[in-house]
Structure formats: C-alpha cells, structure tokens
C-alpha cells in the first residue's frame, strides 16, 4: 500500500492560536477581533504564511512571538489585519462644517496675530490618502479666497501598504467619481496613457500633505505641534471603550486650545469620560 503524506493545512487555526493572535493584535493595534471573526483572521494571516513559506499557523505563531519576529513581522501582521476603506469627500457635511464653522471660528480667535501660524490639521487613520487630499482641496480653495491663510496637513496610518499608495497619490478614475468636475479639472492629472485609466493628485496638493506611520496605541504619537483639527473617522469603531477613552485623551493633549475633533458618522463619545463638547454631528471641541 502506498503511504500518502498529508501536509498541514493552511486553513486550520486552532483556538489557542486564534486567542494568541487576537490578544497580540489587540495589544499592538488596539483592534478587537471577536471569535466570530476567526475565519476572517485565518484568511488574512494565510497571506503572511505563504509570503514566508510557512506551512502552519503554529509555525507562524512561533515566529511572530520570537524576538526576531517581533522586530520583523509585526508591521506586516498589522498590515494584513487592518481594514482600509475610504473615499474622496466621504461624509461631505464634515468638510462643509470645516469651512463654514471651524475655519472662521479659528480665524476670529487669531485675528490679532493675522494667522501668522499655519492652520494645522491631522488625518489620523488616513488609509490610501483620499481624506487628506480632500482636505488639501478644500483648504487650498479656502486659502485662495482668504489671502494670508496657510495650512499644513499631517496624515498617518498604521498600515505601511496603504501609506505607500497614499504617498504615490495615483488612483483609478472610478475612485475619483465623488470629486466635482471643477475640482477634477483643477487638482487632478490624467495619465498620458489613457488606457490605464489613472489620475494623480497635482503636485501643489501633494506637497501640502506629510505622511507618517503612526500607531495610535503608542504613548507618544510623534505629533509634537498642537493641532487645530483632528479627523479620526471610522477608526475607533474597531476599538473597545477603554481603548477609545485612552485615545481621546491623547487627542485632547495634542489639540490646540479650542481645537476640533471629527469622528465617523457611526461613532460617538457618549459614555466616555473625556473632556470634549459636542458642537455638531460627530464633531467635538476641546473643552
């Protein structure tokens, strides 16, 4: 009789392995992965097993929890488990609020200094860059209408893969459908090879956005200058309440007096003991 060798299946993650991985991801990135998402985690981590030439989750776990794995693999593990969804002008009412309420309010408060310091805004959880480039379009328009207004945009994400796309600022044409025709003509560059169906954000806007890899779970976020506005939209839905509260305290410390915080449409600070006051739909101000 011929003996058949069975290789370990990449599809089987044992319960204790799932618990180790989910605890590690929570500690590293603040993301809660409940048992009902075990299959999803299996599918995503299979990409790393294949990339490393490993044959089982046990082998991968031994590597991840080793000193070498902690140094080399954590960035890649976080990359595959993070969810990245965004659009240009997503939740457009927030950009209307920024222009109609926030900017005039801050300008009035700084009237004596003639806004010598640039307006500072941070896109925390910027994904592939659509949000900070939307900010750049809106603020560039505002600057043209208000001489002397200057701004800087910081954009950050924990995922290196999406940051690479964001820095390149190249998108398929169907990704820019939510941008108005006037803004497309003004701020987008079409590929010379029209068959590729690609566009790129113009250099003037790209130069206004500074990208960084930042883990929001770190005590020191690497943002030293006080920010006037922080956008952290559709990020904290992946965190539990204690993690949300700790993050809001960090944002509070990094906001300038009277600064504004924007959350996603399904997110709220209700039930969190944090020093922010609601001023609009999912918009809060530093108390």
**C-beta separation of 176 from 184 below 8 A:** yes
Q: Please tell me the predicted confidence (pLDDT) of residue 7.
A: 46
Residues 173-200: tens digit of each pLDDT? 999 999 999 999 999 998 877 788 899 9
Mean pLDDT of the chain: 89
Q: Is 246 a catalytic residue?
A: no
Categorize the per-residue pLDDT at 110 as very low, low, confident or very high, splitting at 50, 70 and 90: low
Per the residue annotation, which of 48, 79, 90, 157 is the catalytic one?
157
Q: Residue 278: is its pLDDT beyond 70?
A: yes
Q: Please tell me the predicted confidence (pLDDT) of residue 261.
A: 97
Q: Please tell me the predicted confidence (pLDDT) of residue 35.
A: 92
Q: Residue 108: is its pLDDT beyond 70?
A: no
Q: Please tell me the predicted confidence (pLDDT) of residue 245.
A: 93
Residues 129-150: tens digit of each pLDDT? 999 999 999 999 999 999 889 9
What's the rounded mean pLDDT across residues 48-54? Answer: 91
Q: Is 107 a catalytic residue?
A: no
Residue with tokens 């299979």: 46
Handedness of CA 184, 187, 192, 195 (dihedral sign): negative
Q: Please tell me the predicted confidence (pLDDT) of residue 5.
A: 46
Q: Residue 83: is its pLDDT beyond 80?
A: no
Q: How far apart are CA 159 and CA 128, in angstroms?
A: 9
Give 37-75 as a DSSP string. Answer: GHHHHHHHHHHHHHHHT---HHHHHHHHTSHHHHHHTHH
Highest mean pLDDT of the ranges 67-81, 126-140, 216-230? 126-140
Per the residue annotation, which of 20, 44, 206, 246 is the catalytic one?
44
Kindly report the CA angle at 42 between 264 and 266, in degrees rounded to 5?
10
For the chain, domains (ranges, CATH) are 15-81 (1.10.155.10), 93-286 (3.40.50.150)
Q: Please tell me the predicted confidence (pLDDT) of residue 224.
A: 85
The three-class DSSP label of residue 258 is strand
């Amino acid at each position: 009789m011929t003996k058949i060798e069975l290789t370990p299946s990449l599809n089987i993650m044992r319960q204790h392995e799932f618990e180790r991985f989910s605890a590690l991801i929570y500690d590293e990135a603040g993301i809660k992965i409940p048992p009902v998402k075990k299959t999803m985690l299996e599918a995503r981590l299979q990409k790393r097993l294949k990339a490393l030439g490993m044959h089982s989750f046990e082998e991968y776990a031994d590597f991840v929890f080793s000193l070498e794995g902690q140094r080399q693999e954590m960035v890649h593990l976080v990359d595959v488990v993070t969810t990245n969804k965004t659009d240009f002008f997503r939740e457009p009412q927030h950009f209307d609020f920024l222009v109609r309420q926030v900017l005039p309010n801050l300008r009035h408060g700084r009237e004596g200094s003639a806004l010598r310091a640039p307006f500072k805004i941070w896109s925390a959880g910027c994904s592939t860059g659509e949000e900070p480039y939307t900010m750049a379009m809106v603020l560039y328009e505002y600057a043209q209408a208000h001489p002397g207004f200057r701004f800087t945009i910081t954009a950050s994400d924990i995922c290196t893969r999406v940051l690479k796309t964001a820095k390149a600022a190249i998108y398929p044409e169907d990704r820019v459908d939510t941008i108005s025709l006037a803004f497309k003509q003004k701020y987008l560059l079409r590929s010379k090879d029209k068959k590729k169906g690609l566009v790129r954000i113009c250099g003037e806007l790209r130069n206004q956005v500074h990208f960084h890899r930042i883990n929001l779970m770190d005590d020191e976020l690497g943002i030293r200058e006080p920010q006037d506005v922080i956008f952290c939209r559709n990020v904290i839905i992946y965190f539990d309440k204690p993690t949300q509260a700790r993050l809001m305290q960090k944002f509070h410390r990094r906001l300038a007096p009277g600064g504004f915080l924007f959350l996603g449409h399904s997110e709220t600070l209700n039930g969190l003991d944090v020093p922010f006051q609601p001023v609009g739909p999912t918009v809060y101000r530093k108390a």
